[in-house]
Amino acid sequence: MRLRKIAIIGPESTGKSVLTKQLAAHFHTLHVEEYARHYLETHGTDYTLADLWKIAQGQMQAEDAAINQCKTYGKQLLFVDTEMYVIKVWSEFVFNACDNRVLQQITSREYDMFLLCNTDLPWTKDNLREYPDHETRRKLFYHYHDLLVNQQVPWAVISGLGEQRLQHAIGALSQNLSIR
């Protein structure tokens, strides 16, 4: 059976990282962490559009390494916290532009499903987050929503608190990909 990749996307502070780790643990498989957090902690939060391409490259390298690990260990699922749609939305929201290389990667990298995290979680402050107001987070959510509506891969909005959120994601995977 081939490796199936599930991308977890959405605005900041919507539980993407937690959900990615929970799903990987539940399905006894690997996950890819969000590279942007590492990059910004290392280089600071005064980033440019060029930095977003570097972040995209780091994200893709981490994903490619995890794909190789899955093949080595015989894993059939990989959960990916953030991918090129996230870089696109971020780029366009902050800089009103997106590097063409990111757009090219969106069309060439394949996923079996997208899980879009809803903004129903309370915003949690940390040094890297930029948008504490709910209105901005909802606006970003709808940017992601519009992207997913206009592509062919199955997707689901994931809502709920704690265990409910995880069970909602597991249900969406079961319904759309017959993953149990």
Q: Higher model confidence: residue 14 or residue 129? A: 14
pLDDT exceeds 90 at position 173? yes
pLDDT exceeds 80 at position 38? yes
Backbone dihedral angles phi then psi of residue 27, each to the nearest 5 degrees: -95, 5
Residues 14 and 116: beta-carbon distance below 8 Å:
no
Residues 70 and 79: beta-carbon distance below 8 Å:
no
The architecture in CATH of the region 4-177 reads: 3-Layer(aba) Sandwich (3.40)
pLDDT at 14: 92
Let me know how long the chain is. Answer: 180
pLDDT exceeds 80 at position 129? no
pLDDT at 174: 95
Using pLDDT thresholds of 50, 70 and 90, give the confidence band for residue 127.
confident
Give the separation between CA 153 and CA 140, rounded to whole angstroms: 20
Residues 40 and 60: beta-carbon distance below 8 Å:
no
Give the separation between CA 122 and CA 52, rounded to whole angstroms: 26
Rg of the chain over Cα atoms, rounded to whole angstroms, equals 15
